[in-house]
Amino acid sequence: MPLHFDAALARRFIASVIGDRDVLLVGLTGAHAYGFPSDDSDFDLKGVMVAPLASLLGLDPPEETFERMEVFEGVEQDLTLHDAKKAIQLLLRGNGNALEHALTPIQLYDSPRAEQFRALARGAISKRFVHHYRGFFQGMRAEHAAVGRAKTLLYAYRVALTGAHLLRTGQLEQDVRVNAQREGVREVEELVRLKHDRAEKASLSASENERLSAGLDRALAILEEAHTSSPLPEEAPNRQALDAWLVDIRLRTGTHREDRGP
């Protein structure tokens, strides 16, 4: 279990806010999953819900996304749920966030339906994901240049190295410490220590920033090389299977209530 993460607390928060939504899965992402939590890091909870069939037939469109952020029992909690159709569309476009929501190893809900979805998410991995991880890296690098925090620099390293491992192997590894050790990106170890010892949004000194930013170009080169040599298909090869699963899960809405819950 990641440092400072209380799964029972997270489940109580989810239960308190979801109402009658049919939650398929919720996973832990953010600093706790990425290997660099601070004492004041929030719980970043992301997942998938299933809109009821009736909501697709009426005048108003179904709820595509549910979001709630609040302090619950003294801990900031950030929950986002996408409807299954939106989550699948994101996967097919190569959205790494949607993939990580499904495949992060700390899952707070479990059911046969959730495992089906995770298997389909693994089957949707393709070279398209490079666009997400490259764009995310560039965005975090720009943000880091503006704010100079250990957190933003770690996020830049994290997305580049996670993307590289995914493109090479088809496997998701979110922990930046594991990927950095594999690739020999030594700056990450010190950054993780600094962030852990300081507040979530603490800034780096000028000398720390210069020294610990030195590996960014190499991290991007690792990502680009992984894309060039990737054995993955260009597009998700299981679009029809995802479509069939979505139709089936819609038709079955309301008959699997026993599968709900952590």
Q: What is the DSSP string of 121-171?
A: HHHT--TTHHHHHHHHHHHHHHHHHHH-BHHHHHHHHHHHHHHHHHHHHS-
For residue 255, the model assigns a pLDDT of: 47
Give the contacts of 229 (CB within 8 A, at least 6 positions apart). 168
Tell me the per-residue pLDDT of 128-138, one tens digit each, with 9 for 90 and over.
999 999 999 99
CA distance 231 to 226: 9
Question: Which of 84, 129, 102, 92 minimizes the C-alpha distance to 46?
Answer: 102
Dihedral sign of CA atoms 119, 120, 125, 131 in order = negative
CA distance 177 to 188: 7
Burial of residue 207 (CB within 10 Å: 0-12, 13-18, 19+) is: exposed
For residue 256, the model assigns a pLDDT of: 45
Query: What's the predicted TM-score (pTM) here?
Result: 0.91
CB 90 within 8 A of CB 98: yes
- The neighbour count for residue 102, using CB atoms within 10 Å, is 25
For residue 2, the model assigns a pLDDT of: 56
For residue 170, the model assigns a pLDDT of: 98
CATH fold of 7-124+236-259 reads Beta Polymerase; domain 2 (3.30.460)
For residue 3, the model assigns a pLDDT of: 54
Beta strands 75-83 and 43-50 are: parallel
Sequence ranges of the chain with CATH classification 3.30.460.10? 7-124+236-259
Cα–Cα separations (whole angstroms), residue 98 to 68, 73, 142, 147, 221: 17, 28, 23, 27, 24
Residues of the chain with pLDDT under 70: 1-3, 254-262
